[in-house]
């Protein structure tokens, strides 16, 4: 076989210079062809033929590796993701994190992996990292889950879980994006209603809920609660609010009764919503009966707590109808703590009665001691008896009970906080020990406003006024109890005065006086409404995370 010589033209003349070849595609192709021909001419064909099986085997192995890689992209990724989700449910966070690390290598662009990884961070209260991951998903080209992600980010901001400068503005921005994508999104409107309701703007809260109330009975129940609350507020009440509340509650009851009786639902949330609707109608007996049946069927701790709250509201209604019927009220409160020994509303009512000097004080304290003897919630009862003793100024008994509560349920943040308070207010206060207890409580719940307020008051007593101001100002915007806000303003006034800033001190004292006047004139009706009892449970709803809402300011 005669090979053409690529280094000479067909005429036999030399090929032009390389610069000319580079400018001429024909000559460039001729040169490449020549290189290939020369390489083949210089090989020994027998050895090349002997290597063909090895080349074929290498090709087959490469194909198998590529095929295995494709299988890993589907089956292996799904297996790791399933294992990670199971680990999250069982709170095995290290195992879940290991799975996600592997998934980052196998599927670095998989949106499911990033979303679930964000949920793992959220489950461990690392909301900053969770939000960062979710925001990367918003910025990518896949817009499938953007509505769900915006709802999640808004919820975290509303609940105060994101350490950002303007959480309410952040929440509103995300919710606006939700409603831009889906103007009828029920949970986008629900979160907006929560933002407005928490600052008392029930008009806007209701405006957001009215168009979507029929979407789910939970949202309808919340709307009924808002109507009911607004009907009790003199400067916001609209004609017909009370009737609208009852009408909406009846719609919810009709829908839920069908699910309970006709569909024989096993969803405990349906039962608690039905009880909540009857509670809104002030039909306490029927509400209690529904939850008693639910507890018999499901033995659910959350429904037991709710039943305890129903007994509390029933007891409140008894005392409104007949202020002298203290025995009936105490019987209902006793039922409440027997049903749910750690139900805070019942315990707060009993402590309030026991701390008063009127009828029922001794009976309330005796009810707690009886619960202690009966073995109901020893840690909680010791905690309450300690709180009552502190309210009476018996700091020795208070410290004894609180210490027993802490022994029975160590590192309970509320107990540690109250022990810190008692230690700071005894005749011979142990302020270093009080500060140590307060620090322990804050380590458990770093954003709890009450705990920050306690530590701020301790710093004030210790003369560390700069530290006191940091804690007290951080707590101030999240404390809703007027008496506590008054105390905070007084302590801030003292601290600023000691640091040589009399102008700010004067403003805090004026604010404290304004709040005192407000407390004296306020006719509180918020406890008449069950509006906070049944927050919508958005779990298992497509694109809608679960939330109870949170306090905040809407500008």
Mean pLDDT of 5-15: 53
Residues 508 and 457 occupy one common structural domain: yes
Per-residue pLDDT, 493: 92
Per-residue pLDDT, 370: 76
Residue 113 lies in a domain: no
Q: Is 236 exposed, middle or buried (0-12, 13-18, 19+ CB in 10 A)?
A: middle
Residue 451 lies in a domain: yes
Residues 393 and 431 occupy one common structural domain: no
Residues 475 and 437 occupy one common structural domain: yes
Most confident option among 208-222, 318-332, 510-524: 208-222
Per-residue pLDDT, 326: 78
The candidate with the shortest Cα–Cα distance to 264, out of 297, 218, 299, is: 297
Residue 383 lies in a domain: yes
pTM: 0.56
Looking up residue 339, the CATH number of its domain turns out to be 1.25.40
Q: How far apart are CA 161 and CA 389, in angstroms?
A: 35
Range in 26-30, 136-140, 257-261, 471-475 the model is least confident about: 26-30
The domain total for the chain is: 2
Residues 405 and 435 occupy one common structural domain: no
Residue 549 lies in a domain: no
Range in 340-349, 472-481, 522-531 the model is least confident about: 522-531
Mean pLDDT of 374-401: 75
Mean predicted lDDT score pLDDT of the chain: 78
Per-residue pLDDT, 414: 76
Residues 480 and 536 occupy one common structural domain: yes
The candidate with the shortest Cα–Cα distance to 91, out of 124, 126, 130, is: 124
Residue 162 lies in a domain: no
Residue 298 lies in a domain: no
Final residue before a domain boundary, out of 410, 442, 475: 410
Residues 523 and 500 occupy one common structural domain: yes
Residues 425 and 534 occupy one common structural domain: yes
Indicate if the pLDDT at residue 216 is higher than 80: yes
pLDDT more than 90, % of the chain: 18
Residue 424 lies in a domain: yes
Residues 472 and 511 occupy one common structural domain: yes
Q: How far apart are CA 417 and CA 292, in angstroms?
A: 34
Domain that holds residue 532: 419-540
Per-residue pLDDT, 175: 92
- Using 50, 70 and 90 to split pLDDT, how confident is the model at 423? confident
Final residue before a domain boundary, out of 393, 410, 427: 410
Indicate if the pLDDT at residue 549 is higher than 60: no
Residues 473 and 533 occupy one common structural domain: yes
Residues 447 and 348 occupy one common structural domain: no
Residues 402 and 450 occupy one common structural domain: no
Indicate if the pLDDT at residue 290 is higher than 80: yes
Residue ranges of alpha helices (H) inside 322-412 are 326-339, 344-355, 361-373, 378-391, 395-408
Q: Name residue, tokens 């049903």.
A: 339
Residue 232 lies in a domain: no
Looking up residue 443, the CATH number of its domain turns out to be 1.25.40.10
Q: In the numeric block, which tokens belong to residue 89?
A: 């449910």
Final residue before a domain boundary, out of 380, 410, 440: 410
Residues 460 and 532 occupy one common structural domain: yes
Per-residue pLDDT, 210: 92
């Amino acid at each position: 076989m005669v090979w053409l010589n690529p280094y000479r033209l067909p005429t036999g003349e030399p090929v032009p210079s390389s610069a000319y070849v580079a400018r001429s595609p024909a000559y460039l192709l001729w040169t490449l062809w020549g290189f290939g021909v020369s390489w083949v001419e210089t090989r020994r064909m027998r050895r090349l033929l002997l290597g063909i099986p090895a080349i074929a085997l290498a090709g087959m192995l490469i194909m198998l590796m590529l095929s295995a890689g494709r299988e890993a992209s589907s089956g292996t990724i799904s297996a790791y993701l399933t294992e990670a989700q199971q680990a999250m449910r069982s709170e095995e966070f290290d195992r879940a994190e290991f799975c996600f690390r592997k998934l980052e290598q196998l599927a670095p662009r998989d949106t499911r992996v990033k979303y679930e990884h964000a949920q793992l961070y959220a489950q461990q209260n690392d909301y900053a990292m969770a939000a960062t991951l979710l925001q990367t998903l918003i910025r990518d080209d896949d817009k499938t889950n953007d509505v769900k992600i915006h709802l999640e980010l808004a919820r975290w901001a509303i609940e105060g879980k994101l350490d950002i400068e303007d959480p309410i503005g952040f929440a509103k921005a995300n919710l606006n994006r939700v409603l831009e994508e889906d103007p009828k999104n029920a949970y986008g409107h629900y979160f907006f209603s929560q933002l407005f309701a928490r600052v008392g703007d029930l008009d806007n809260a209701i405006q957001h809920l009215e168009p979507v109330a029929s979407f789910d009975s939970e949202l309808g129940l919340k709307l009924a609660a808002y109507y009911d609350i607004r009907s009790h507020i003199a400067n916001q009440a609209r004609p017909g609010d009370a009737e609208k509340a009852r009408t909406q509650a009846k719609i919810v009851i009709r829908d839920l009764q069908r699910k309970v009786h006709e569909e024989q639902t096993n969803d405990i949330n349906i039962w608690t919503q039905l009880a909540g609707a009857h509670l809104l109608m002030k039909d306490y007996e029927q509400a209690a009966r529904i939850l008693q049946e639910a507890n018999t069927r499901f033995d659910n701790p959350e429904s037991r707590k709710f039943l305890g709250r129903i007994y509390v509201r029933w007891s409140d209604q008894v005392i409104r109808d007949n202020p002298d019927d203290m025995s009936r009220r105490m019987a209902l409160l006793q039922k409440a703590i027997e049903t749910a020994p750690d139900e805070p509303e019942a315990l707060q009512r009993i402590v309030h009665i026991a701390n008063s000097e009127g009828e029922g004080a001794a009976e309330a304290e005796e009810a707690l001691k009886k619960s202690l003897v009966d073995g109901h919630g020893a840690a909680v009862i010791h905690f309450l008896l300690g709180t009552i003793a502190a309210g009476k100024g018996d700091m020795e008994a208070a410290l004894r009970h609180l210490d027993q509560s802490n022994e029975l349920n160590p590192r309970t943040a509320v107990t540690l906080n109250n022990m810190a308070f008692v230690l700071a207010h005894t005749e011979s206060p142990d302020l270093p020990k009080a500060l140590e207890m307060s620090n322990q409580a804050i380590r458990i719940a770093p954003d709890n406003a009450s705990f920050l307020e306690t530590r701020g008051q301790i710093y004030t007593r210790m003369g560390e006024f700069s530290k006191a101001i940091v804690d007290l100002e951080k707590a101030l915007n999240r404390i809703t109890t007027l008496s506590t806000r008054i105390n905070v303003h007084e302590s801030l006034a003292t601290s600023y005065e000691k640091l040589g800033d009399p102008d700010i001190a004067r403003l805090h004292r004026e604010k404290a006086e304004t709040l005192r006047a407000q407390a004296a004139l306020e006719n509180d009706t918020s406890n008449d409404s069950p509006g906070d009892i049944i927050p919508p449970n958005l779990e298992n709803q497509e694109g809608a995370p679960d939330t109870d809402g949170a306090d905040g300011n809407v500008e």
